Amino acid sequence: MSHFKRREKIREDSVSGKKILTGCFDPILMKNTRVRNKEEFRRTYFRISYNSRELHRIDDVEILCYRGKANNPMWMDSEPNMYPVLCTVGADTSMVPQKKKRDVYGRRYYEIEFSVVLLFGLTELKAQLVYTVVTKKEVKKEMRGEAHILFPDLGN
């Protein structure tokens, strides 16, 4: 599908009013990458809501796995059956600082920014939630918390 045709995949976020391009694939770990024990791979995410309490927990960060032949897949619509859910990551995000913002109508909404870190061990996959806080002295400090991983039931 051409970039011209993908313009129909642009939608407006219902809370922030910002334009979002859907259907793109953003890998945490590139295909054929050699992974060392305990090596970290991360991706940053944003969540927004009109209700600040809805941002206290996330349970739906889907980690997709590309099973096709392309070395650098970008668009999920070109091979829609090649992106199964590897796992879903969730965590307590109540300690992640919330930014207060205004939508296009002047209504207040809240935004959090966090990263999911995947740690590949010899026999298991672990996940952590990483976020940044600003201290009283205006120093940014990276904080980490536990995250849980749910693997899909494959009907075995």
| 1 assigned to some structural domain | no
- Whether residue 15 lies inside any domain: the answer is no
In a domain, 142, yes or no: yes
Question: What pLDDT is stored for residue 145 in this prediction?
Answer: 94
Residue 138 located in a structural domain: yes
What is the reported pLDDT for 99? 96
Could you tell me if residue 11 is inside a domain?
A: no
Q: What's the domain range around 110? A: 26-150
Closest by Cα among 93, 83, 76 to 22? 76
Give the number of domains in the chain. 1
> Which positions of the chain have pLDDT values less than 50?
none
Does 4 map to a domain? no
Asked whether residue 12 is assigned to any structural domain, the reply reads: no
Which residues are 114's β-sheet partners?
45
Q: Is residue 20 part of a domain?
A: no
